[in-house]
Structure formats: structure tokens, C-alpha cells
Structure 1
């Protein structure tokens, strides 16, 4: 990783945003705070012209709140609005009115640190008028200037996976990535204490400002308990009743707090997958903290602790790390697919399941171990045998350094395969 700290980090979302601006009246760029939305807007504005404003600026926000129609119509197009959620419903209604008057492309580009259509106060849907772009924290391929192409390679089958140019990394190096996360400021931090300060400030801002801008929270201590429990239970199935008991909150209150934290991207949910492989399938989603650097900070663990054998939290954080990388890749992959997990009441479980729009399936297990054995593929093989031709490949992602075939359409790959380039790999066996 050799960067000029003052240079723009190339983002996969940039060409996607440009295409959608050219093809639609308005675009919304969604993502966590500090994920790079402001920098992306600046780059789009630099090349497209128009007007760039931020509602984090008090005077700008006042102008938007006092006269939303004049604000939206009084600037040259395209109008780029950062932190749009701070303008509330009146501003969105003014945007809607502008879009209804003209079908011209690229009129308004909005960025916000909330899931746009799920925020309670932003009730006016702009469905049919806007396109969306998701901007996650940095993917590992963006950090390393490589291709994040595991999703497309996996749906290409075993041969394509084994042609990935895998970067050999130790378990310690992988866990350092997990603890660093993907927020640009944390990635670029020269000193571990700077990174810790960033994560602490991030969580403080989420709880003390962002959530409370959406809805008034009387029990701030309860909200903070939910934040910490989200980290403690990352990569686990979300049982609201049990979660609420652990947080010492009423079930409805806990459900509301979790929904608000999902709205501001502290965590994301991976739904359960079912193809009726068994009659005992479980239907609860899994909860994954969006950035594993934040989760590690909340849990008080670092790379050294996670690298020690037998550290149970290492597997959960690594699974959330992989889930986040796959979720990022799904925003730009050529393959149209969705991310799930699968488990049943009999104990069968596959950590992550990718299902394409045409019904093909890639199943992924995540192991923090360096060595993989046949037992680690048990549920992948079960899924393969049940799905037959619709099963493309099963993958065990692990902390070892070499890829290895493990049978018919089952392969073990290093975690670094997530951001590997596609070219002949001299280490495959």
C-alpha cells in the first residue's frame, strides 16, 4: 500500500455514479459517515460542474430549511447536496417537485449517512425518479489497487478460482486487516493510537448525534449497550428477544434501536437463505458490524490477540470482514447476485451464500484457522449434493497461504483471494 495521502483514493463507485447520473434525473449516494461520500461528491462535481453544497454547514442548512424550493431551484445543475438527510422531508419534497417539472438527466446528486428510504423522517419516497449508489468503507482491492473479483470468479467456477493470483499473507497480516477496517482515515492512520481515536470518535458521533438526528433517544446508555452488543454478537444470528435481555431493554425498544443503528450503517443484516434443503431451516438474519475495525475497537481486541490460536472472537470478526467485502463486491460485480446465510435446527450451517438471479449458488465457509481439513467442508458438500447442477462451487476461506482443491466443486482459498487479480497462480495444487 503506497499512497499519496493527499490524493483521491480511486473508488469503484465513481464510474458507477457517473453512469447513473448520466442515465437518471437524480442519484442518491448512500453509505456510512466517513466512508468517502464527500470526496466522491467533490470528484463528481470537479468533472461535471454545477454546484456543491453541504448541509453540515449551518448557514447552508438554514437556507435549505427556511426555503427548500428556492434552495433547490436557485443553484446551477447538477446540484450536489452532501448530508441531505439533514434537510428532512421539506427539502426532499422540493427535490421531487423539481424532478417532476423536468425529465432532464443529472439534475440532483444527493449523499447521506443514512439508509435513505428507511429513515423514518424521510418519508417521501422518490421511487422512479432516483438511482442509488452504495458507498461502503474501502474494499481491500481499493486499498491494494487490485481487482476485487471473487464474486465473479466464483460464479465462473473452479478453474477460474484456481487462476486467481493469490497474495500470500500470514494469519497475523489478515487479522491486522480485520482490525484496521476500511474507513479511509483509519486505513491511512500512521499510528495505532490515531486509529483507536478515530474509532472512538466514530462510535461517539453515531450514538450522540447521528441516531438522535433521526429520532430522540431518551436512554443513551441503552443505545450504547446495543452498540457494544452488536459488536459482541457480530456474525451471529439475531434473536431480538435474547438480544434485548442481554441489553436490559424492552424487546420493542431494542428492536427500534437496532433498526436505527442499521439506518446509520453501524451494522447490516444478512438474511437467511432457503431452498427447502431441509424442513428445519432457520429464518433469522445474521448481524454483521459494517466495519470490523470498529467492532474490534468495541471488543477491545487487536491483531495480536486475534492471531493467537483459540481466540473465539477471531472467527466471528473474520466472517464479518468477509461478509463486508462480498457486500462491497456485489455493488459492482458483473454477476447479479444477493448475499445470504444458511442454517437449520439440526446444526447444519453455511456462513455465507451467494445466489445469482438465475438461481446458481456459491457457498462460502470462513475459517480463522491456517489448516483446513475435510470436516470443514461437511455442509458445503451437503449443499452441493442437494442442489446438484445449481451449485457452482463451495469455498472455504481460511488464514493459510495456499489454495487447495478439496473435492468436486469444493476448494480452500486464502482470505486474500477476495482481492486477488485473475491470472495464472503458480502456487495452486
Structure 2
């Protein structure tokens, strides 16, 4: 059951409580933030409050200084974005008066400190963590993350053991998704209804509370378009034409969907920082179960002989798993994609701040060949010793060496080794 799943971010959260005056836990609704805060509250004997509670929210908005004055520390405030600017300012004033660490833990279902409605960022006072829906590694309860091993000992990933996961197993995981509620549902019908209600509540509550949106239906249409083209570089002009929206409105709506954690942008990579900034990012829906719901595809659909959604959803699945692992890794990792005009491309370029690079390609096939490593070979040749290893993840069962620092891995090697 999800309530028994050990969240890998817990170690960082405990460390942050001892290091910062304020700890901020951001993440999508229904990702497990409330459970995490309640566990901290039990262990630290603090105070837990949620601003989803109407009377508490009204009190926090009416007199924020009094609202935070009572209660043992750390004070855990859930759905903090619903308290408004004055509550953040009151917390800032409180922690500026006292130097103690771990005074507040604030959980938000939006990247609320970056929203225009807030004037205070808590810069220098807060440590920020992201809690996403479950990673398959957390559900499987396995050992060290692929991401850590890929940087510390990539050769260890070349294993002779066979994966227990079939092609169909991956499609089932992709379409099920990783929100705790969705994971517990055995029926595709009930999951579909849950996802529908989930999206509507995000648009009607979280987005409309933080921004004025003239046509909320356009946000859902945009999200559906992103789901249909997940793992691709968006053409904002075409999207605007399809939705009959100005390009600036499309860009704003994309930003809103990212602020509530429904999509992520993976920027283009280059050692030239200017070039990195001007190239288009890829957009990924942050949960493939949600993406599958939005475009109306199930595991049978992905297994069909022709399935346009199969490759993009598998790529987003792999990117999302690695992005989650990056939130609890012991080092900082940047996620990018790489594409040379009319040339090589790599789905995911992982860069540590020491300049070392790991490349990742996603293939929704049961076999791989040398051609599947074309982009990784080009990246290896351009980087030299800074290129640690390149991996092609595929739906087959064997780990296969393809030469110098190049390996094909079953997708399950992300969590099961």
C-alpha cells in the first residue's frame, strides 16, 4: 500500500530541517506531501495545519502573524500557496527574529514562491525540495538509484542477469501512472475517472487561485496537446493556431501548467551557455498515467502494431523516473536534451556540476543495434573524457555492451538490478 512506501526524499528533508529555518516541500497535488508532513510532525512533535481547511485558511489570511504564533515547532503548513502573500511575509518576519533551524515546513502544490502574487521568496532562509508521485524504485523497494550508479560506477550496470519485466509490463506501468491514489486502483475505469477529476480540480482551484485565466477550457486543451506530443519540442505558433490563442498566451499557459507540476521542460544542452538558452526545450507530461488518460490510450493501445504514442510515452516514462531520482541524489544533476540541427540527438543529457556527462536514449523496442547509439557516439566523441557513459534503455531483457562506454539496458534497470 502507498502509505507504507518509503519515500527516498526523506533523508534530504531531515537534513534540511537541521540546516534551514524553513523547509519548502513542493510537488503536485496528491503526490504524498501531506503524508510526509504528518510523518515529520509525529517524529518532531510539531504542529500540522492544512490550508485546505476553510476556517484555518480564513484565519491565516485574516491575521497571519497570530496564526503562526501558536503551536509547537516545527510548524507544518500544508497547501501554503492558499494563504497568500501576507502569510509568507509573516513567516519571513518570524524566522528573521529567531535563528533556530527547522521552524517551519511549508508544503505547496504550486511553485508558489515564483508566482506573481507573492512578493517574498524567502531567499537565504529556505531549503526547497520537490516531492513527485512515486518512483518505481520506491514502489519496488530496491537499492541504489540508477542515477547514482551511472555517475559513480557505470560499468556496474553491465549485468548478465535477465530482467523479469516484459514489454507488456512496461506498458501497464506507463498507463497506470504513479500518483498514490492511481497506484491503488485496480480498475482502468476508476483510474480514468480519478485522472479526469484531478485535472479539473487543478485547473479550477490551484491555477485559478494564482492567475487570471479567461478560458480555463483552453488550459485543458493545451495540456491534452502536450500529452499528445510529449517528449517533443513544442511549436508554439502551431499550438496557438490550433487553440486560437496568441503565442504569448500559450507561453503563459505552459508556464502555469509547469507551476502546478503537470508538465516539465527539459532544456536543450550545449557547452555554450548562450546556445543552451536559445534552443527549444522538450516538454514532458510529468506522469505518464495522466498523459495516457488525456490522449485516451491504454496498454493494449501501446502494444498495437502501430502506436504513435508508444515511443514518446516510453521516453517520458524514463525521463520522469530519472528526474525523480535526481531529487534525492547526493549530488546536483541537470537534465537536458541534445540535438544538432540536421544531425545527432540524445533524449537526455545528465550533467553533474563537475562537468561529467551521462547520456540516455529511450527505445520502445525489444531489440537494439549500433544505429540506436548514433547520438551517444557523437556526444562521446565531442566530449572525450567528460563523457562517462551512454545508455540506451529498451523493452528487452538483457544488458548488452556496445563498445567503449556504451550499454543497452532493460528499462527495469532504472530500479531493479
TM-score (ref. length: structure 1) = 0.93
Mapped to 1, the partners of 2:241 and 2:30 lie a distance apart of 32
1:280 and 1:13, CA in 2 relative to 1: closer, same or farther beyond 3 A?
closer
Q: Does the Cα contact within 8 Å between 2:160 and 2:398 map onto a contact in 1?
A: no
**Match in the other structure for 1:170:** 166
Cα offset, 1:157, TM superposition: 4.4
Q: CA RMSD in A?
A: 1.8
SS at match of 1:237: coil
CA distance in structure 2 between the aligned counterparts of 1:269 and 1:358, rounded to whole angstroms: 23
**Residue in 2 aligned with 1:424?**
none
User: Do 1:281 and 1:345's aligned partners in 2 also have CA atoms closer than 8 Å?
Assistant: no
The offset of 1:290, in angstroms, is 0.7
Partner of 2:52: 56
Per-residue deviation, 1:14: 1.6
The residue that corresponds to 2:195 in the other structure is: 199
- Asked if the contact 1:280/1:344 (under 8 Å) is kept, the reply is no
2:379 corresponds in structure 1 to 383
Note closer, same or farther for the CA distance 1:364–1:75 as it changes in structure 2 (3 Å cut): same
Give ranges in structure 2 of 5+ residues lacking alignment. none
Pick one of 80, 84, 94 that aligns with 1:84: 80
Aligned match for 1:350, one of 338, 346, 360 = 346
Q: CA deviation at 1:147?
A: 2.7
Q: Quick one: distance in 2 between partners of 1:116 and 1:167?
A: 41
Change beyond 3 A, Cα 1:91–1:282: closer
Task: State how 1:16-55 maps to structure 2 within 5 Å.
Answer: 16-55=12-51
- 1:315 maps to what in 2? 311
> Displaced runs of 4+ in structure 1, greater than 4 A?
163-166, 279-282
When residues 357 and 233 of structure 1 are mapped into structure 2, their CA distance, relative to the original with a 3 A threshold, is: same
Contact 2:361-2:393 within 8 A present in 1 as well: yes
Alpha-carbon distance in 2 for matches of 1:116, 1:371: 44
Whether the 8 Å contact between 1:166 and 1:417 is mirrored in structure 2 is: no
Q: Give the conservation status (yes or no) of the 8 Å contact 2:262–2:286.
A: yes
Taking structure 1 as reference, are residues 15 and 164 closer, same or farther at Cα in structure 2, changes over 3 Å only?
A: farther
| Aligned pairs (5 A) from 1:218-233 | 218-233=214-229
Q: Using the TM superposition, name which of 161-170 and 380-389 deviates more.
A: 161-170
Q: How far apart, in 2, do the equivalents of 1:165 and 1:252 lie? A: 51
Distance 1:165 1:359, change over 3 A: farther
1:276-355 mapped onto 2 (5 Å cutoff) = 283-355=279-351
Tell me how far apart the structure 2 counterparts of residues 375 and 160 of structure 1 sit (CA, whole Å).
Answer: 24
How big is the shift at 1:346?
1.2
Residue 100 (str. 1) matches residue 96 (str. 2): yes
1:15 Cα deviation from its structure 2 partner: 2.1
Residues in 1 aligned to 2:403 and 2:272: alpha-carbon distance in whole angstroms: 24
Corresponding residue number in structure 2 for 1:247: 243
Q: Distance in 2 between matches of 1:117 and 1:148?
A: 32
Question: Match for residue 359 of structure 2?
Answer: 363
- Report the 3-state secondary structure (helix = DSSP H, G, I; strand = E; otherwise coil) of the residue aligned with 2:58: helix
Aligned length in residues = 416
Q: For structure 1, which runs of at least 5 residues remain unmatched after alignment?
A: 422-429
List aligned pairs for 1:115-264, cutoff 5 A.
Answer: 115-147=111-143, 149-163=145-159, 167-264=163-260
Range moving further from structure 2, 112-121 or 292-301: 112-121
Tell me the distance in 2 between the aligned counterparts of 1:167 and 1:87.
Answer: 48
- The question of whether the paired residues in 1 share the 8 Å contact of 2:358 and 2:388 is answered with yes
| Distance in 1 of aligned mates of 2:162 and 2:347 | 22
Q: Name 2:70's counterpart in structure 1.
A: 74
Structure 1 residue 121 displacement after superposition: 1.2
Deviates more, 1:264-273 or 1:331-340: 331-340
- Cα distance in 2 between the residues matched to 1:65 and 1:367: 50
**How many Å separate the matches in 2 of 1:282 and 1:115?**
24
